[in-house]
């Protein structure tokens, strides 16, 4: 059951509690994010084994490692999406990025890697929103600068391997208008100031641009926002893969949708990719040492991983007796996200995490460095191959005639 929207997200009363909203993610007292508590509080559902099995059956392929490893771990109405899909009804994907910097890190890539898998596995179209207006409003950027960052980020996104015949990338500054703007207005009409303050924590000193933004992030959930893509498909459902800190936007959207006669968007949500030093909640683009960037060299990656917070013990004797504390071990966590092979991961888990295991921290760090280096180098090559023409192609307002094939 949809949790009531009016719970308070006030930051001041939560200084001793964890904070998860689109602008701040921090664990309680510098500890770890309690995802059970979060699911409970937000009112979404756990993504359980049975759903993952269903995905495997319906798509005829192994579920993505992010599903197998519980990186994408929560959802709203994903079961309904699968029901509809089983009945022969399609859906479309919607995800996005707030282009606040050129520096993308691995945490940023996660929703895009997963969305690419979903597009391929289900053979569905995708819209990607670059919220350059949001970044302009929240950061000290000019309009031109945020537009430029949007285009730069578009290259990284394209480098993740989306299908240009099924994907529409747009920046708000380019695209807002027409049917999209009409839906923004319709949504805004349904959200009171008090409600917006309750959901997002806005205060009197915030500017009115911030208040008008949630409607911009809501609108892509409705197919009528894209008349060039989905003409006459007003019942087409939307599935939104995103990090769980975006949930407030879509709780609001789901609350408004029925009042507009629209279907509620479904969500599939990920946990946060932990910072290298494991502090707080997630990697931060503003702290270079907290993250592996897609622009890092093999040497950078090696150095950063070597400094990553370890759950291993300094003395090999102790390590042998106890095994590493896998709860705290960042290199192992990174492996559990990025290492494809389940059995290799299991082997490392045993040999590193259990007593009398033969692996040391150094071994694990070496393996994760290899894997991340491979990911980053593949990405860098793919990005270098993205031309201006390709960006134009993805961002052109055009129909996608083969979007369901």
Dihedral angle sign, alpha carbons of residues 24, 41, 67, 116: negative
Residues within the interface to a second copy (CB under 8 A): 133, 136-137, 143, 173-178, 181-182, 185-186, 188-194, 196-197, 202-209, 211-212, 214-215
Write down the least CB distance from residue 12 to a second copy, Å: 17
Between 87 and 192, whose beta carbon lies closer to a second copy? 192
Answer whether 105's CB lies under 8 Å from 292's CB.
Answer: yes
Q: How far is the CB of 16 from a second copy (least distance, A)?
A: 27
Between CA 25 and CA 28, with CA 26 as vertex, the angle to 5 degrees is 145
What is the distance between the alpha carbons of residues 235 and 310, in angstroms, rounded to a whole number? 49
For 104, residues 6+ apart whose C-beta sits below 8 A from its C-beta are 153, 156, 285, 293, 294
Task: State the minimum distance, in angstroms, from the CB of residue 189 to a second copy.
Answer: 5
Pairing of strands 72-76, 45-46: antiparallel
Nearer to a second copy, 160 or 260 (CB): 260
* In the complex, minimum distance from the CB of residue 390 to a second copy, in angstroms, rounded to a whole number: 23
208 vs 384 by CB, closer to a second copy: 208
Q: Which is nearer to a second copy, 175 or 367 (CB)?
A: 175
The smaller minimum CB distance to a second copy, of residues 209 and 399, is found at 209
Give the dihedral sign, CA 86/247/136/279.
Answer: negative
Tokens at residue 7, please? 């719970």
Rounded distance between C-alpha atoms, residue 182 and residue 363, angstroms: 56
> Please, what is the minimum distance in Å from the beta carbon of residue 167 to a second copy?
22
Q: How far is CA 127 from CA 96, 226, 238, in A?
A: 8, 9, 10
CB of 325 vs a second copy, minimal distance in Å? 46
Residue 181 or 375 having the CB closest to a second copy: 181
**What are the distances in angstroms from CA 153 to CA 102, 109, 117, 337?**
7, 11, 19, 23
Residue among 68 and 195 whose Cβ is closer to a second copy:
195
Q: How far is the CB of 368 from a second copy (least distance, A)?
A: 41
């Amino acid at each position: 059951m949809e949790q009531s929207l009016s719970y308070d997200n006030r930051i001041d009363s939560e200084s001793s509690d964890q904070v998860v909203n689109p602008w701040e993610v921090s664990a309680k007292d510098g500890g770890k994010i309690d995802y059970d508590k979060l699911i409970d509080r937000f009112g979404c559902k756990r993504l359980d084994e049975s759903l993952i099995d269903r995905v495997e059956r319906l798509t005829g392929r192994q579920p993505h490692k992010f599903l197998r490893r519980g990186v994408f771990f929560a959802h709203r109405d994903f079961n309904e999406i699968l029901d509809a899909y089983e009945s022969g009804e399609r859906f479309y994907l919607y995800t996005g990025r707030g282009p606040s910097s050129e520096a993308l890190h691995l945490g940023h890539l996660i929703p895009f890697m997963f969305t690419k898998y979903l597009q391929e596995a289900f053979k569905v179209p995708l819209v990607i929103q670059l919220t350059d207006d949001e970044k302009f409003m929240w950061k000290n950027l000019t309009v031109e600068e945020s537009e430029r960052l949007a285009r730069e980020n578009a290259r990284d996104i394209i480098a993740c391997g989306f299908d240009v015949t099924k994907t529409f990338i747009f920046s708000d500054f380019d695209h807002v208008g027409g049917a999209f703007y009409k839906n923004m207005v319709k949504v805004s009409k349904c959200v009171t100031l008090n409600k917006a303050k309750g959901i997002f924590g806005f205060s009197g000193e915030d500017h009115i641009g911030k208040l008008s933004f949630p409607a911009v992030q809501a609108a892509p959930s409705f197919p009528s926002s894209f008349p060039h893509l989905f003409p006459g498909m007003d019942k087409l459902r939307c599935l939104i893969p995103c990090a769980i800190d975006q949930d407030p936007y879509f709780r609001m959207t789901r609350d408004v949708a029925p009042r507009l006669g629209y279907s509620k968007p479904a969500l599939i949500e990920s946990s946060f990719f932990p910072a290298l030093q494991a502090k707080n909640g997630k990697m931060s683009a503003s702290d270079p040492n907290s993250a592996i960037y897609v622009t890092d060299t093999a040497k950078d990656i090696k150095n950063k991983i070597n400094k990553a917070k370890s759950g291993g013990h300094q003395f090999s004797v102790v390590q042998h007796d106890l095994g590493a504390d896998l709860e705290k071990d960042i290199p192992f966590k990174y492996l559990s996200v990025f290492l494809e092979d389940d059995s290799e991961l299991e082997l490392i888990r045993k040999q590193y995490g259990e007593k009398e295991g033969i692996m040391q921290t150094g071994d694990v760090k070496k393996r994760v460095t290899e894997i991340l280096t491979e990911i980053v180098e593949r990405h860098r090559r793919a990005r270098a191959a993205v031309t201006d023409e390709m960006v134009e192609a993805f961002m052109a307002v055009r129909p996608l005639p083969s979007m369901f094939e």
